[in-house]
């Protein structure tokens, strides 16, 4: 018997012995300081989707576009990301260029994207496009190190996003729509440009947006980015910029 | 901060036993070491104060995040449901995950035990012609001692997670499976980096982090193979999900040509939507964050129309004793663990004896529950005694595993397997006496008068108990006698006010 069949046989054998059902103890806990619950958890008829059961109890994502925007801005601030809302592409350019000058950026990396391209045009520094024709057709044996070095030397990565999540202050990027896997994590600064329509309430809504956009064929990588890279490994003290970007800018246009 | 006198208990690589057999620790060895190390760590009050300080910030941020849930207790029910569903249909979940993942262009490997998993990963590394390997944090690789196996074959492997990197340089296993170096002070880290990386000494956590960051960047670019773990396997979409904060796992799965992920078979969830519940709860319980910094799903290697990413992706599914836990319906739910580490952070035993004392890959209450199953109850049953049964772990668990009752079950099972004759005789004698009121009164009288003698004699059975506890003196009169002659008329009438206080 090969390992696959052996493991599956063990698992099936183990599951022939019935076990207890899922725990539903929330009601019992209400006497111990928790607020009394207005309605019991609808778990009567299993199987119920865990998400449907959880949705009313998870952190709020905002009911209206205005609430979602406010929540997103608030969460990004708490995460030590920098949030800007600008009215036009022109204003976004002014903002980005001033950041570039202030930080003396020499080269920024970007990918083809309907928002990124116009905002970047005229930036006072060199640019490096990660998804150019050369990158897409390069020989796998040689494609890697030169391109990785080029990206590693950039001061910032500018990307679009698939969604912004109000509930958690997250930015959803994918390998298919945001310039691959490394653009949003290798350079020391990550700038995200987005439109207000891309704001969704919760993680679950972001999954819905993904399904709507990509159908069954999801990109090979999807990443929820929640603030700049961080670590607390040394004495549990927060430090930003562990391995990923030290700074995360979210620029909302419109 | 003054230099910290190290406890004499030396942290050691954990003495694991592959489920296949081979034993490194004898039954009494593991227990003896536990007792010795526990004593040493408990004696070190500086160390305990340091751990408490490190955890204080966690309690604050965790409580702040929990308050953002409209109802944390109900959300726990739902998180439990998501994992219960997958664990109780595990065969179906695994098949669906494997089929979907392979449809995305990746390869699934199955490993019955640690040795098989090591062989599979070594073969992948060899076939890739790897010169350099970079790893992100993965407790399952600690479980199978992957780094030792890779190094024995001459492959250099670098841990990229800051805490794991520090532990790798120190030559120690992780102290805590979420906070690997929470026991190490910044001064020690500065010295360590000075010695290994030639950096200048500094007391700043930020500068220390940047030293590791600079050191690691070349390694990401140069590594041929990236090894990660997986926090979840999504059956519906054939994706693995990785939760992290530093971005090192993102880089490990983006830059090398080959990506290998090792995951226990219990990591399955049925739907992508389940992660909308589990990801925030894992972060809140584990580190007190709304969501950790990077939560990333990988469905396979780089697609044709994508501009970077590995050319090959492998997922190694590991059993290594997990099916044995599944076969015990009473403790099946311990497979629902999402390894957030919340039970360690609240455990009075962990806070006092520290992570190394356990001598296991998974420390703390959940480690004490599953290790006897993974490595044999006989050798590791002492871990189920390493609990005050206070239930703090069960209350902290975001997926509602009944941790402290499982420890109690393990104690019961161990007694059934190897009955303690002396203990049983003692209980029988007590039962016989307690069932006869006159004998009980007489026995009590004798005991009250001879308690001082028992303390003085330091009988072998009582010695360990008394060594760390103050035994109060015996009262002159028995409780029953005091009750019979109680003075207060209020007590006699049993009158109480609205709050239940005696009037």
**Is the bond leading into A47 cis (omega within 30 degrees of zero)?**
yes
List residues bridging with A10 in a β-sheet.
none
Q: Are A52 and A90 within one domain?
A: no
CATH code matching the domain that covers B69-320, chosen among 3.40.190.10, 3.40.140.10, 3.40.50.10420, 3.40.50.1980: 3.40.50.10420
Q: Are A40 and A117 within one domain?
A: no
Q: Do B73 and A26 touch (CB under 8 A)?
A: yes
Q: Is the ipTM of this complex over 0.85?
A: yes
Q: Do B326 and A145 touch (CB under 8 A)?
A: no
Q: Domain residue spans in chain B?
A: 69-320, 421-474
Of B111, B291, B307, the CB nearest to A130: B307
Chain A residue with CA closest to B311: the answer is: A140
Q: Are A17 and A94 within one domain?
A: no
User: A–B: how many Cβ contacts below 8 A?
Assistant: 343
Of B245, B253, B307, the CB nearest to A231: B245
Contacts of B80 in chain A (CB under 8 A): 22-23
pLDDT tens-digit profile of B193-236?
999 999 999 999 999 999 999 999 999 999 999 999 999 999 99
User: CA of B86 to nearest chain A CA: how many angstroms apart?
Assistant: 11
**pLDDT above 80 for B497:** no
Q: How many domains does chain A have?
A: 2
Of B95, B182, B250, the CB nearest to A244: B250
pLDDT tens-digit profile of B437-495?
999 999 899 989 888 887 777 777 677 777 777 778 888 889 988 988 887 655 555 55
> A148-184: b or e for each residue (b if 16 or more CB lie within 10 Å)?
beebbebbbbbbbbbbbbbbbbbbbbbbbbbbbbbbb
CA dihedral B245, B250, B252, B253 (to 10 degrees): 140
* Window from A76-80, A136-140, B300-304 with minimum mean pLDDT: A136-140
Q: Are A195 and A228 within one domain?
A: yes
Q: Are A52 and A99 within one domain?
A: no
Chain A residue with CA closest to B67: the answer is: A59
Residue B234 three-state SS: strand
Of A30, A60, A229, the CB nearest to B293: A229
User: CA of A183 to nearest chain B CA: how many angstroms apart?
Assistant: 9
The number of residues in chain A equals 254
Q: How confident is the model at residue A135 (pLDDT cuts 50, 70, 90)?
A: low
Q: Are A82 and A53 within one domain?
A: no
Q: Do B74 and A26 touch (CB under 8 A)?
A: yes
Q: Are A155 and A93 within one domain?
A: yes
Residue B10's alpha-carbon distances to B6, B68, B166, in angstroms, are 9, 42, 17
Whether B303 and B295 have beta carbons less than 8 Å apart is answered as: no
Q: Are A78 and A95 within one domain?
A: yes
pLDDT tens-digit profile of B320-335?
999 999 999 999 999 9
Chain A residue with CA closest to B319: the answer is: A7
Please name the residues in contact with B206: beta carbons below 8 A apart, sequence gap of 6 or more. A239
Q: Are A110 and A168 within one domain?
A: yes
Chain B residue with CA closest to A8: the answer is: B91
* Window from A77-81, B275-279, B284-288, B422-426 with minimum mean pLDDT: B422-426
pLDDT tens-digit profile of B127-169?
999 999 999 999 999 999 999 999 999 999 999 999 999 999 9
Q: Are A214 and A153 within one domain?
A: yes
Domain end position, chosen among A13, A36, A57: A57
**pLDDT above 50 for B21:** no
Q: Do B308 and A181 touch (CB under 8 A)?
A: yes
Q: Are A114 and A170 within one domain?
A: yes
Q: Are A107 and A182 within one domain?
A: yes
pLDDT of amino acid B20: 36
Q: Do B88 and A15 touch (CB under 8 A)?
A: yes
Residue B421's alpha-carbon distances to B17, B378, B416, B428, B431, in angstroms, are 29, 17, 11, 10, 15
A245: domain CATH number is 3.40.50.10420
Distance CA A146, CA A150 (A): 6
Helices (H) and strands (E) in chain A, counts: 9, 12
User: By residue range, what is the domain housing residue A39?
Assistant: 3-57
pLDDT of amino acid B480: 87
pLDDT of amino acid B413: 86
pLDDT tens-digit profile of B22-47?
344 455 688 899 999 999 999 999 99
Of B71, B265, B295, the CB nearest to A37: B71
């Amino acid at each position: 018997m090969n390992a696959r069949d052996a493991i599956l046989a063990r698992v099936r054998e183990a599951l022939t012995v019935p076990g207890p059902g899922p725990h539903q103890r929330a009601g019992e806990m209400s006497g111990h300081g928790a607020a009394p619950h207005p309605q019991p958890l609808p778990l009567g008829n299993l199987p119920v989707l865990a998400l449907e059961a959880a949705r009313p109890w998870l952190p709020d994502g905002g009911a209206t576009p205005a609430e979602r925007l406010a929540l997103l801005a608030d969460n990004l601030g708490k995460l030590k990301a920098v949030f800007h809302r600008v009215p036009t592409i022109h204003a976004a350019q002014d903002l980005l260029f001033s950041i570039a000058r202030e930080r003396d950026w020499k080269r920024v990396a970007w990918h083809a994207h309907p928002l990124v391209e116009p905002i970047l045009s005229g930036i006072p520094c060199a640019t490096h496009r990660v998804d150019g024709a050369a990158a897409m057709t390069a020989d796998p044996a040689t494609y890697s190190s030169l391109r990785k070095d080029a990206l590693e030397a950039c001061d910032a990565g500018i990307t679009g996003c698939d969604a912004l999540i109000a509930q958690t202050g997250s930015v959803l990027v994918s390998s298919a729509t945001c310039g691959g896997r490394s653009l949003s994590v290798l350079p020391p600064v990550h700038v995200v440009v987005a439109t207000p329509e891309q704001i969704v309430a919760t993680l679950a809504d972001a999954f819905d947006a993904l399904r709507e956009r990509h159908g069954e064929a999801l990109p090979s990588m999807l990443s929820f980015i929640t603030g700049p890279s961080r670590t607390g490994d040394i004495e549990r003290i927060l430090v930003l910029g562990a391995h990923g970007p030290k700074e995360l800018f979210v620029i909302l246009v419109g | 901060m003054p230099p910290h006198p190290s406890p004499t208990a030396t942290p050691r690589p954990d003495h694991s036993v592959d489920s296949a057999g081979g034993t490194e620790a004898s039954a009494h060895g593991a227990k003896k070491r536990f007792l010795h190390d526990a004593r040493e760590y408990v004696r070190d009050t500086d160390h305990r104060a340091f751990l408490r300080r490190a955890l204080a910030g966690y309690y604050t941020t965790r409580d702040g995040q929990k308050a953002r849930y409209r109802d944390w207790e109900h959300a726990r029910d739902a998180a439990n449901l998501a994992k219960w569903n997958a664990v109780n249909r595990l065969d179906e979940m695994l098949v669906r995950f494997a089929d979907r993942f392979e449809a995305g262009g990746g390869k699934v490997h199955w490993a019955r035990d640690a040795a098989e998993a090591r062989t599979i990963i070594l073969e992948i590394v060899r076939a890739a012609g790897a010169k350099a390997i970079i790893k992100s944090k993965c407790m399952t690789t600690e479980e199978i001692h992957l780094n030792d196996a890779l190094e024995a074959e001459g492959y250099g492997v670098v841990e990229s997670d800051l805490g794991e990197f520090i532990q790798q340089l120190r030559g120690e296993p992780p102290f805590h499976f979420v906070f690997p170096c929470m026991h190490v002070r910044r001064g020690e880290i500065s010295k360590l980096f000075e010695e290994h990386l030639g950096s200048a000494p500094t007391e700043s956590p930020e500068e220390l982090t940047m030293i590791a960051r600079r050191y690691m960047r070349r390694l990401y670019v140069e590594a041929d193979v990236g090894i990660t773990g997986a926090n979840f396997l999504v059956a519906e979409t054939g994706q693995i999900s990785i939760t992290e904060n530093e971005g090192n796992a993102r880089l490990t799965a983006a830059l090398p040509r080959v990506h290998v992920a090792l995951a226990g078979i219990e990591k399955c969830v049925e739907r992508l939507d389940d992660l909308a519940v589990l990801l925030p709860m894992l972060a809140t319980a584990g580190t007190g964050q709304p969501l950790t910094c990077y939560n990333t799903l990988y469905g396979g290697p780089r697609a044709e129309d994508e501009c970077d990413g590995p050319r090959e992706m492998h997922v190694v599914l590991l059993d290594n004793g997990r099916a044995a836990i599944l076969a015990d319906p009473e403790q099946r739910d311990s497979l629902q663990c999402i390894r957030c580490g919340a039970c360690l952070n609240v455990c009075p035993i962990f806070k006092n004896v520290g992570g190394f004392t356990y001598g296991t890959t998974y420390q703390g209450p959940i480690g004490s529950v599953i290790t006897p199953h993974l490595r044999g109850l006989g050798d590791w049953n002492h871990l189920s005694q390493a609990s005050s049964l206070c239930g703090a772990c069960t209350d902290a668990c975001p997926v509602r595993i009944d941790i402290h009752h499982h420890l109690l079950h393990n104690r019961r099972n161990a007694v059934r397997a190897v009955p303690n004759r002396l203990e049983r005789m003692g209980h029988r004698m007590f039962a016989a006496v307690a069932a006869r009121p006159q004998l009980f009164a007489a026995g009590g009288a004798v005991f009250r008068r001879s308690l001082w003698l028992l303390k003085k004699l330091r009988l072998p059975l009582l010695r360990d108990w008394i060594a760390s506890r103050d035994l109060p003196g015996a009262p002159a009169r028995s409780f029953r006698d005091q009750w019979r002659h109680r003075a207060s008329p209020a007590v006699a009438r049993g009158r109480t006010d609205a709050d239940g206080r005696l009037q």
